[in-house]
C-alpha cells in the first residue's frame, strides 16, 4: 500500500500538509507564529536569492580614471580596520562613529554640502569607514572637485576589495564589517537598496547581520550575510555582567543610534518569549525606519493576536493567556480583534511594498481562504490570486504550487486542469526540487495534459544529483508515456536506480522503496510487473528498518508483494500485523482499506490497480 497520501489522488493529498486550506485563520496564524519567530529570517528569505559576489576588485562603477587596487593597498585597508578595532578608546569612539555614519546616510541625497564636514569627522575617527569616504566622494562631486572625487573613490575601491577578500556574503562565509553602515554602502555601490535588516546570533557567528536588498522596486530580493563578531571582544567592557561573547550590550548601543536591525532583533527576541506588547513596541520602531522584516513579523504577531482575542471574546474569557514556560501572563497589546486584524493587514501591505514575497504569499492566501463576510478581512479571490502570482513571479515556488493545487482540486478556486498545469509548470521552472517532482506527480493523475518542455530536463537534472524521488517520477512518466515514449523497460530502470539511491542514502528513504515496491507488485500493466523484485526490496527494508516495519502502509505493501508472488499465507500474516499496527496508532483513516486487502488475500487474490 502506498501511504494514504497517494491513495486519495496522488499529488493532491501529497501536497495537503502544505497547501490545504486552514480550518481557521487562528490555526494557520498560531502555527506560523510558533515556527516563524525562531527562524524569522530563514522563512522570509526562503524564496530570495543570495546576492552574487562581485567578480573582481576592478574600479567601482561610476568612477573615472581609477586604477584597480593593488595587493598592498588592499592589505592596508584590511589593517586599517584591524587598527580601529584594537584602539584602547574604541568604546568612546564607536558611538560617535555610528551617529555620524547614520547622519551621513540620511543626508546623501538631500544635503550633499553637509557631507563634507560629516565625512571628514568620520574619517578622522575611523579611517576605514565606507560611509566616510562615500560621503566625501559625494561632497566633492557636488562641488566639482575632481581630485577629491578620485582620492575617495580610490579609497572606496580598496575598502571594497578588502571586504570581498573577507567572505562571499553567504551563511558560511559572511563579509566582515565593523558597522552596519559598511554593509549599507557596500550594497549601495552595487546599485542595490536595503529594505530589510536584522542582527542574528549563531554559535559560529555571535553577531551577524542579514540584509535584504533589491535593485529596483519590482525586482527580487537578494540576501547578504555580514559578520560583526570582531566587535565583541574589544567592547566586552560595555557590561561586565553580560555573558562572555554575548551581543546584547552592543545591540543596546546600536538601538541608541536608532538602528532598525537592532530594534528588529530585540523585538524578535521578545516575541520568542511571548512578550508581545514589548515586542511590538520594538518592532514598530524598526518598521518606522522601513525595515521589511519588522513589518512582516508585526503582521504575523497581530494576526495571531487577532485570533486569540476573537477566541477569548467568543468564550467570554477576560483573563490573559499564560506562558507555560514561566506560568506568568503573556503581555499583549490591548486592542480588539478588528484592530489587530487591520494592523496585521497594514503591516503585510507595507512589507509587500518593500518587496516581501512572504507577505504576498500570506496575505494572498488569507484573501483566498477567508470565510469572513465582515470587515476588515473579507474574502477576495482576485486580489488573493494577484498577490500569489506576484509572489511566484519573484521566485516563490510555493505560491505557484498553492494556486496549482487549488485549480486542480477546485476547493477554493474554480476547477481548471489547464491553469493548474500552467502554475505547476511555472513553479517547476523556478527549479525548486519539490515543485518539479510534484508537477510530475500531477501529470500522472492527468494523463491528457501536455507537460512543459522543461519538465523532463529538470527531472533528469535532479536525478543526476541522486534525487531518488525524481528518479521515481521519471519512472512513472516513462511508464505512462508522458513527456517521452512509453517504455516499461526505461521505467523499471529508473525505479531500480531510485531504490539503489534510497538504500544507500544516509537516512534510508523508505517511502521511495515502498512506492516502487507497490507500483511493481500491484500494477495491472504486465510489462511493468516485477513482483519478485518488489518482494526482495521490501524484505530488505523491513528487515533492517524498525521504523518502517511498524508503518501500516509499508506492512500492507510488504503483504501484497507476497500475495503477488502467490504466498497468500505470509500475505495474510503480514496484513494482520498492518491492521494491528494501524489500530495501535489510531489510524482509523486506513483501517477499512487494510481490512479490505486482508479479505482479498484470504480469498487468494492479490491487489492490482492502475499504477503508477
What would the mean pLDDT of 297-317 be, rounded to a whole number?
Answer: 80
Q: Is 547 strand, coil or helix? A: coil
Give helix 130-142 / helix 115-125 axis angle, nearest 10°: 150
Residues 6+ apart with CB under 8 A from 449: 417, 418, 421, 443
What grid cell was written down for 511? Answer: 517511502
Residue 489 corresponds to which cell in the numbers above? 523497460
Q: Is residue 555 a contact partner of residue 582, using CB atoms and an 8 Å limit?
A: no
pLDDT at position 25: 41
**Residue 62 falls in which region: left (phi positive, over 0), alpha (psi -120 to 50) or beta:** left
Q: Look at residue 166 in the predicted model and tell me its pLDDT.
A: 96
Q: What is the pLDDT of residue 54?
A: 67
Give per-residue pLDDT as tens, 17-65.
333 333 334 444 444 444 344 444 444 444 456 666 665 555 565 545 5
Q: Are strands 193-200 and 208-214 parallel, antiparallel or unpaired?
A: antiparallel
CB 479 within 8 A of CB 612: yes
Report d(CA 462, CA 355) in Å as an integer: 30
290-to-165, 302, 363 alpha-carbon distances in Å: 30, 18, 19
Q: How far apart are the C-alpha atoms of 201 and 197, rounded to whole Å?
A: 13
**pLDDT of amino acid 218:** 82
Q: Which residues pair with 222 in a beta bridge?
A: 49, 213
Q: What percent of the chain has pLDDT over 70?
A: 84
State the pLDDT confidence band at 245, using cuts at 50, 70 and 90. Answer: low
pLDDT number for residue 249: 82
Q: What is the pLDDT of residue 3?
A: 59
Start-to-end C-alpha separation, the chain: 12
pLDDT band at 328 (very low <50, low <70, confident <90, very high): low
* Contact status, residue 364 vs residue 384, Cβ threshold 8 Å: yes
Grid look-up 502467490 returns 566
Maximum Cα interatomic distance, the chain, rounded to a whole number of Å: 96
The rounded distance, in Å, linking the Cα atoms of 525 and 486 is 12
Give the whole-number percent of the chain exceeding pLDDT 90. Answer: 71
pLDDT tens sequence across 455-472: 999 999 999 999 999 999
Q: Rounded distance, CA 409 to CA 425, Å? A: 17
User: Looking at 362-371, 380-389, 518-527, which range is the least confident one?
Assistant: 362-371
Q: What's the alpha-carbon Rg for the chain, to the nearest Å?
A: 29
- Work out the angle at residue 145's Cα, subtended by the Cα atoms of residues 140 and 146, and round it to the nearest 5 degrees: 105
Q: Which three cell numbers stand for residue 313?
A: 471574546
Tens-place pLDDT, residues 420-449: 999 999 999 999 999 999 999 999 988 788
Q: What is the mean pLDDT of residues 192-219?
A: 92
List CB contacts of 461: < 8 A, sequence separation 6 or more.
none
Question: pLDDT value at position 62?
Answer: 52
What integer pLDDT is reported at residue 19 of this predicted model?
Answer: 37
Q: What's the whole-number mean pLDDT along residues 353-380? A: 85
Alpha-carbon distances, residue 503 vs 529, 541, 552 (angstroms): 21, 8, 20
Q: Nearest to residue 348, comparing CAs of 390, 393, 400, 310? A: 390
For residue 14, pLDDT over 80 is answered with no
Contact between 267 and 233 under an 8 Å Cβ cutoff? The reply is no
Residue 447: CA atoms inside 13 Å, Cβ hemisphere, count? Answer: 9
Calculate the average pLDDT of the chain. Answer: 87
H-helix or E-strand spanning residue 12 = helix 11-14
- The C-alpha atoms of residue 549 and residue 17 are separated, in whole angstroms, by 24
pLDDT of residue 334: 82
Q: Decide: 332 and 340 in contact? Cβ < 8 Å.
A: no
Domain boundaries, the chain: 54-166
CA dihedral 262, 266, 271, 272 (to 10 degrees): 110
Task: pLDDT band for 365, please (50, 70, 90 cuts).
Answer: very high
Q: How confident is the model at residue 10 (pLDDT cuts 50, 70, 90)?
A: very low
At 566, list the grid cell: 502467490
Ramachandran angles phi, psi of 211, nearest 5°: -120, 145
Comparing 473 with 31, the larger pLDDT belongs to: 473
Alpha-carbon dihedral angle through residues 104, 110, 114, 116, given to the nearest 10 degrees = 70
Give the mean pLDDT of 63-88: 87
Q: Which residue has the cell 543526476?
A: 464
Of 29, 514, 87, 112, nearest to 299 by C-alpha is 29
Q: What is the pTM of this model?
A: 0.81
More confident residue, 610 or 559: 559
CA distance 270 to 330: 11
Question: What distance in Å separates the CA atoms of residue 600 and residue 489, rounded to the nearest whole number?
Answer: 29
Q: What 3-state DSSP class applies to 293?
A: helix
CA distance 564 to 534: 9
Q: Give CA–CA dist 165/159, Å, rounded.
A: 10
Amino acid at each position: 500500500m502506498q501511504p494514504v497520501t497517494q491513495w486519495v489522488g496522488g499529488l493532491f493529498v501529497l501536497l495537503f500538509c502544505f497547501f490545504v486550506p486552514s480550518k481557521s485563520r487562528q490555526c494557520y496564524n498560531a502555527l506560523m507564529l510558533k515556527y516563524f519567530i525562531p527562524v524569522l529570517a530563514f522563512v522570509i528569505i526562503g524564496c530570495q536569492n543570495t546576492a552574487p559576489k562581485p567578480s573582481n576588485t576592478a574600479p567601482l562603477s561610476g568612477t573615472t580614471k581609477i586604477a584597480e587596487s593593488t595587493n598592498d593597498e588592499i592589505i592596508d585597508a584590511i589593517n586599517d580596520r584591524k587598527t580601529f578595532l584594537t584602539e584602547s578608546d574604541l568604546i568612546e569612539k564607536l558611538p560617535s562613529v555610528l551617529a555620524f555614519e547614520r547622519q551621513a546616510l540620511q543626508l546623501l541625497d538631500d544635503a550633499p554640502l553637509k557631507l563634507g564636514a560629516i565625512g571628514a569627522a568620520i574619517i578622522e575617527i575611523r579611517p576605514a569607514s565606507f560611509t566616510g569616504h562615500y560621503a566625501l566622494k559625494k561632497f566633492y562631486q557636488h562641488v566639482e572637485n575632481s581630485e577629491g572625487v578620485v582620492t575617495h573613490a580610490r579609497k572606496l575601491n580598496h575598502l571594497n576589495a578588502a571586504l570581498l577578500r573577507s567572505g562571499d556574503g553567504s551563511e558560511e562565509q559572511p563579509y566582515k564589517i565593523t558597522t552596519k553602515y559598511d554593509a549599507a554602502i557596500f550594497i549601495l555601490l552595487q546599485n542595490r537598496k536595503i529594505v530589510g535588516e536584522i542582527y542574528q546570533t549563531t554559535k559560529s557567528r555571535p553577531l551577524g547581520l542579514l540584509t535584504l536588498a533589491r535593485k529596483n522596486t519590482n525586482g527580487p530580493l537578494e540576501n547578504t550575510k555580514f559578520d560583526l563578531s570582531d566587535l565583541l571582544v574589544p567592547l566586552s567592557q560595555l557590561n561586565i555582567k553580560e555573558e562572555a561573547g554575548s551581543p546584547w550590550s552592543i545591540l543596546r548601543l546600536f538601538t541608541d543610534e536608532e538602528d532598525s536591525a537592532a530594534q528588529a532583533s530585540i523585538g524578535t527576541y521578545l516575541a520568542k518569549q511571548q512578550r508581545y506588547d514589548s515586542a511590538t513596541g520594538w518592532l514598530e520602531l524598526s518598521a518606522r525606519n522601513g525595515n521589511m522584516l519588522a513589518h512582516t513579523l508585526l503582521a504575523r504577531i497581530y494576526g495571531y493576536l487577532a485570533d486569540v482575542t476573537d477566541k477569548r471574546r467568543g468564550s467570554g474569557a477576560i483573563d490573559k493567556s499564560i506562558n507555560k514556560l514561566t506560568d506568568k501572563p503573556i503581555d499583549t497589546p490591548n486592542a480588539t480583534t478588528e484592530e489587530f486584524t487591520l494592523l496585521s493587514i497594514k503591516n503585510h501591505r507595507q512589507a509587500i511594498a518593500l518587496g516581501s514575497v512572504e507577505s504576498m504569499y500570506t496575505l494572498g492566501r488569507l484573501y483566498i481562504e477567508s470565510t469572513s463576510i465582515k470587515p476588515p478581512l473579507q474574502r477576495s479571490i482576485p486580489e488573493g490570486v494577484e498577490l500569489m502570482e506576484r509572489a511566484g513571479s519573484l521566485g516563490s515556488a510555493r505560491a505557484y504550487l498553492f494556486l496549482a493545487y487549488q485549480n486542480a482540486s477546485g476547493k477554493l478556486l474554480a476547477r481548471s486542469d489547464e491553469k493548474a498545469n500552467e502554475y505547476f509548470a511555472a513553479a517547476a521552472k523556478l527549479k525548486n526540487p519539490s515543485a518539479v517532482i510534484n508537477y510530475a506527480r500531477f501529470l500522472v493523475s492527468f494523463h491528457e495534459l501536455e507537460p512543459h518542455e522543461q519538465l523532463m530536463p529538470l527531472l533528469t537534472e535532479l536525478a543526476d544529483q541522486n534525487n531518488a524521488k525524481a528518479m521515481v517520477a521519471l519512472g512513472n512518466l516513462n511508464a505512462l508515456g508522458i513527456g517521452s515514449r512509453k517504455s516499461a523497460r526505461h521505467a523499471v530502470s529508473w525505479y531500480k536506480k531510485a531504490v539503489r539511491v534510497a538504500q544507500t542514502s544516509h537516512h534510508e528513504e523508505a517511502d521511495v522503496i515502498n512506492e516502487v515496491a507497490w507500483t511493481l507488485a500491484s500494477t495491472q500493466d504486465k510489462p511493468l510487473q516485477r513482483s519478485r523484485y518488489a518482494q526482495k526490496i521490501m524484505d530488505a527494508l523491513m528487515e533492517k528498518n524498525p521504523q518502517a516495519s511498524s508503518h501500516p502502509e509499508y506492512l500492507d505493501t510488504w503483504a501484497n508483494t507476497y500475495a503477488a508472488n502467490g504466498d497468500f499465507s505470509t500475505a495474510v500474516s503480514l496484513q494482520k500485523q498492518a491492521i494491528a499496527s494501524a489500530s495501535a496508532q489510531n489510524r482509523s483513516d486506513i483501517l477499512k482499506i487494510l481490512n479490505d486487502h486482508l479479505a482479498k488475500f484470504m480469498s487468494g487474490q492479490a491487489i492490482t490497480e492502475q499504477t503508477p
